[in-house]
């Protein structure tokens, strides 16, 4: 069986590859001696393949060598941003309970007691009260007694008011309203006569 290899090219006349013809491609009018070459083929083989080169089918039946175009670089699609977690919804504001409001008022009153004692040179109200039973320095003992009595009066007032609010007999105050209502520390009631209690004064008098 007769065969013949020809070399095809595409519509752009760039070499595509070999094509094998068989006896069905022989011309019957020429006693089977003439091959019917397809229109997109050349009988002349192209030069050996070289990387980076390609072959163009010329009109004269020859192959023209030229540089093959570089493949177009397709950039990778950008990576999608990672999903951002939606912030947790803010909790609904909650009205504090009566017990919570009362505890807040007590904390505010305690800070007021401590700040008042600190203004007189003591660490806090508890420290000031410790001097009530210390007779070594009459002035400090007098202030300690005054702070101790004042502390008791303040808390008695606060708990009495709390009971009235719970019974509906008084409006619940804010801390700003409550502080001016508190008893005042009466230092005058606990003043001492240093001339009568100080040993130094007695010895100088003699």
Torsion from C-alpha of 96, 98, 101, 105, nearest 10 degrees: 180
Q: Residue 114: CA atoms inside 13 Å, Cβ hemisphere, count?
A: 9
Q: What is the pLDDT along the chain (206 residues), one digit of tens a residue?
A: 788 899 999 988 899 999 999 988 888 876 767 888 888 999 999 988 888 888 988 888 888 888 877 777 788 888 888 888 888 888 888 888 989 999 999 999 999 999 999 999 999 999 999 999 999 999 999 999 999 999 999 999 999 999 999 999 999 999 999 999 999 998 888 775 444 443 433 333 33
Tokens of 11: 């519509």
- Rounded to an integer, what distance in angstroms lies between the CA atom of residue 15 and that of residue 194? 124
- Rounded to an integer, what distance in angstroms lies between the CA atom of residue 184 and that of residue 108? 16
């Amino acid at each position: 069986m007769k065969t013949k290899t020809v070399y095809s090219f595409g519509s752009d006349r760039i070499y595509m590859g070999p094509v094998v013809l068989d006896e069905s491609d022989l011309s019957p009018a020429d006693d089977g001696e003439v091959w019917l070459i397809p229109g997109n083929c050349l009988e002349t083989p192209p030069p050996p393949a070289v990387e980076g080169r390609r072959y163009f089918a010329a009109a004269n039946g020859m192959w023209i060598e030229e540089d093959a175009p570089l493949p177009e670089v397709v950039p990778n699609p950008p990576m999608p941003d990672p999903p951002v977690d939606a912030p947790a919804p803010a909790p609904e504001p909650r009205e504090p309970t009566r017990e919570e409001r009362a505890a807040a008022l007590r904390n505010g009153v305690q800070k007021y007691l401590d700040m008042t004692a600190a203004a007189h040179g003591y660490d806090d109200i508890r420290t000031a009260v410790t001097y009530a039973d210390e007779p070594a320095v009459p002035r400090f003992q007098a202030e300690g007694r005054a702070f101790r009595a004042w502390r008791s009066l303040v808390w008695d007032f606060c708990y009495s008011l709390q009971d009235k609010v719970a019974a509906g007999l008084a409006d619940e105050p804010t801390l700003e309203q409550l502080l001016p209502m508190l008893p005042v520390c009466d230092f005058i009631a606990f003043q001492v006569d240093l001339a009568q209690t100080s040993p130094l004064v007695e010895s100088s008098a003699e």
